[in-house]
Amino acid sequence: MTQAPPPEDVGDRGRVTPLGARRRSVADLQGEVERLTEALRQAEERRRTAERTLADMARMAAADAADLRGRLDEAEARLAAVAAAAPKPARPEPEHDPAPGRGRRRRGPVRRAALAAALLIGLLLVTDGILTIAWQEPYTAWRASRTQDALRDDLAGLQRTFADAPKLQRENDAARMHRLAVALLRDRRPGQAVGRLEIPKIGLKTVFVQGTGTDDLKKGPGHYATTLLPGLRGTVGLAGHRTTYGAPFRHIDDLRRGSRIIMKMPYGTFTYRVIGTEITTADDTASLRPRPNEQRLVLTACHPLYSAAQRIVVSARLVSSRPTAGRTTTA
């Protein structure tokens, strides 16, 4: 019997990386390890960003649910008040009334007053419901209006501070806006004014705040803490209510491709154009993920009206930016 020749010793030539690519040297393998390590680092960073963004979306959904629950409790309390104020069935008169007719005369005005009160409360409930459907919830709108007054004062002071910020020599406008955007993103706390949002097509002019928590969104649109600010390369994300607390995003479904969105920051004015609208699930955070070399604005809100079942997402692209003036220093 002829013995088979021994297998050829191929050394490194026969080794294969886990990805199935044949390498010829240790240097090739080291390069592959470095590339895989960097890819793993980037994947981990994307995972952490997605987790933070998902947490923000979950807080926003919880805020919407809590708000709806509060409104339901309030409506049930009003209904109970109406039922309590409604006239009760008349009791039969006693067989021996020492003063016939006197009790009926005394109870008559009381019954009429109770009926009038019940009708008034019912009218108020109906009016509140009609206003909420046709416009927005009136009580929370009044609260948001008062809060916006305070936020405008806060923003005016912030604008004065940034106007006095020195402009370094040999620092161009883009570099200055980048530096001030980083400072603003670092220093603002949840609920504090960050900038002004204007959308001409739907007549919106409002101050937006830092954060998307329950208390933050009662003041106005909120900036997702996991996203950037205008002047930094990446995604800017804002969330807002559609039926309560001023309902700033009630009509964002009217925005169309090309609609202007203006963000007036303490360090500059940034104009965006809408590039698309989509309806997605309440826990979908893909639209808020950073995209390299893209300067985008994303607006999110509950959808449809009076429900937190889905999200409406409006995406826009930066088309122009104009810095505010700053004094020059020799630093």
Instruction: Quick: pLDDT tens for 228-262.
Output: 999 999 999 999 999 888 899 999 999 999 999 99
pLDDT at 126: 43
| C-alpha span between 119 and 88 (Å, rounded) | 15
pLDDT at 79 over 80: no
Q: Is residue 128 predicted with pLDDT exceeding 70?
A: no
Q: Which of 82-91, 117-126, 242-251 has the lowest mean pLDDT?
A: 117-126
Buried-state track 193-213, b at ≥16 Cβ within 10 A, e below 16: bbbbbbbeebebebbbbbbbb
Q: What is the pLDDT of residue 38?
A: 79
The predicted-structure confidence for 10-56, as pLDDT tens digits, reads as follows: 444 444 445 445 556 887 787 778 878 877 887 777 777 667 666 66
Q: Please give the residue that has the higher pLDDT: either 204 or 129.
A: 204
User: What is the rounded average pLDDT of the residues 286-310?
Assistant: 90
Task: Write down the pLDDT at residue 326.
Answer: 60
pLDDT band for position 73 (cuts 50, 70, 90)? confident
